[in-house]
Amino acid sequence: MSTYDLEEQEQIATLKSWWKEHGNLVLGAVTVALAVFAAWNGWKWHVRTQAVQAAALYETLQKAARVGDAKSARDAAGTILEKYSSTTYAPLAALISAKVSYQTGDPKTAKAQLQWVVQNAKSEELRAVARLRLASVLLDENAYDDALKTLESKPSSAFDALTLSLKGDILVAQKKTAEARSAYRSALEKIDPKDVSMRESLRLKLDTLGESQG
């Protein structure tokens, strides 16, 4: 028997011995790896399917919103929030449906949908938008304390001026002139220099209050 044949037999014997000792462990690890891989692929397929179905409903919602069909908009948004709440379409759907609900005289539904965004949206920007809109609805309902409380959460700095401006509006409604003026002035300091329209709006509000008043 040649040296190479002997070495080959030794290697085979060693491999058999190693496999006898560790084979079950290896098979188990391979099985787990395959299961994880299959689960990951299954999850990705599930996510893609959810996104496609949510997108179709979101398109239905947008069409309903354009024609002011509050019921269809509410139904589409409701399905998205119930079945596809983890998709990026969910908070957007709630915001659109809330707008349609409010415009068609259903502030209760609008508030519920905006509150959902505040509590569930992953995007800080979308949460900030929802808080501003919710506070505006509460202001229209004369629920001033609730409106101010809604604005207490620290928003993204991009929303500072809008938040302070709305806070000023609420304080004006409460006849707290000095505090309202302070809020408007702070909003002016935070506003984007390029936002001429909002700057003029804030100056008009301050002029209406009268800078010399206490």
Parent domain of 37: 27-122
Q: Domain with 209 in it: what CATH number?
A: 1.20.58
Q: What is the pLDDT of residues 105-122, one digit of tens each?
A: 999 999 999 999 999 999
Question: How buried is residue 179: exposed, middle or buried, by Cβ count under 10 Å (0-12/13-18/19+)?
Answer: middle
Judge whether 54 lies within some domain. yes
Judge whether 157 lies within some domain. yes
Q: Are residues 105 and 187 in the same domain?
A: no
Share of the chain above pLDDT 70, in %: 74
> Who wins on pLDDT, 38 or 202?
202
Average pLDDT of the chain?
A: 82
Q: Are residues 113 and 65 in the same domain?
A: yes
Judge whether 6 lies within some domain. no
Domain endpoint, select from 106, 122, 138:
122
Judge whether 184 lies within some domain. yes
Share of the chain above pLDDT 90, in %: 47
Long-range contacts of 195-202 (CB under 8 A, 24+ apart): 195/161, 198/161, 198/162, 198/165, 201/165, 202/165
Structure tokens given for 181: 């003026």
Per the CB < 8 A criterion, the answer to whether 69 and 104 are in contact is no
Report pLDDT for 32: 55
Residue 185's alpha-carbon distances to 12, 152, 196, in angstroms, are 85, 18, 15
Q: Which of 10-19, 89-98, 106-115 has the lowest mean pLDDT?
A: 10-19
Judge whether 5 lies within some domain. no
Q: Are residues 118 and 44 in the same domain?
A: yes
Q: Are residues 115 and 152 in the same domain?
A: no
Report pLDDT for 10: 56
- Phi/psi-derived region of residue 142, left when phi > 0, alpha when psi is between -120 and 50, beta in every other case: left
DSSP code at position 158: G
Judge whether 169 lies within some domain. yes
Going by pLDDT thresholds of 50, 70 and 90, the confidence category of residue 8 is: low
Please tell me the pTM assigned to this model: 0.73
Going by pLDDT thresholds of 50, 70 and 90, the confidence category of residue 4 is: very low
Q: Which of 44, 89, 181 is nearest to 76 (CA)?
A: 89
- The C-alpha torsion from 89 through 90 and 94 to 100, rounded to 10°, is 40
Judge whether 135 lies within some domain. no
Report pLDDT for 68: 85
Output phi, psi for 40, to 5 deg.
-65, -45
Q: What number of CA atoms fall less than 13 Å from residue 149's CA on the CB side? A: 6
Domain endpoint, select from 122, 139, 159:
122
Report pLDDT for 144: 97
Judge whether 87 lies within some domain. yes
Q: Domain count of the chain? A: 2
Q: Are residues 180 and 214 in the same domain?
A: yes
Helix (H, G, I), strand (E, B) or coil at 175: coil
Domain endpoint, select from 68, 89, 122:
122
Q: Are residues 42 and 99 in the same domain?
A: yes
Q: How far apart are CA 141 and CA 148, in angstroms?
A: 13
Q: Are residues 55 and 91 in the same domain?
A: yes
Q: How far apart are CA 32 and CA 40, in angstroms?
A: 12
Q: What number of CA atoms fall less than 13 Å from residue 199's CA on the CB side? A: 8
Q: What is the pLDDT of residues 118-175, one digit of tens each?
A: 999 999 999 999 999 999 999 999 999 999 999 998 767 889 999 999 999 999 999 9
